[in-house]
Amino acid sequence: MDVYTTEEQQVEAIKKWWRDNGKAVVLGAVIGLGGLYGWRYYQAEMETSREQSSEAYTQVVSALVAGDAQAEEKATAFIGDNEGSYATLLELQLAKSFVDAGDLNKAAEQLRKVQSSKDETLKTLATVRLARVEAELGNVDAALSQLNSVTAESWKAQVEELRGDIELRKGDTAAARSAYAASIAAATNPVVQMKLDNLSQ
Sequence ranges of the domains in the chain: 153-200
Higher pLDDT, 123 or 200: 123
At 167 the pLDDT is: 92
Residue 176 and residue 199 in contact, taking contact as beta carbons nearer than 8 Å: yes
φ, ψ at 169 (rounded to 5°): -60, -35
Read off the pLDDT of residues 73-91 as tens digits, 9 standing for 90 and up.
Answer: 877 887 777 777 778 888 8
Higher pLDDT, 33 or 157: 157
> Is 140 exposed, middle or buried, given 0-12, 13-18 or 19+ CB atoms closer than 10 A?
middle
pLDDT band at 8 (very low <50, low <70, confident <90, very high): confident
Sequence-distant (6+) residues with CB within 8 A of 125 are 92, 114
- Which one of 15-29, 42-56, 164-178 scores highest in mean pLDDT? 164-178
Mean pLDDT across the chain: 85
Short-list 94, 41, 31, 24, CA closest to 65? 94
Short-list 118, 154, 157, 148, CA closest to 130? 148
> Is 159 exposed, middle or buried, given 0-12, 13-18 or 19+ CB atoms closer than 10 A?
buried
pTM for this predicted structure: 0.69
Q: What is the mean pLDDT of residues 117-141?
A: 91
Q: Is residue 67 predicted with pLDDT exceeding 80?
A: no
What's the CA gap between 93 and 85, in Å, rounded?
Answer: 12
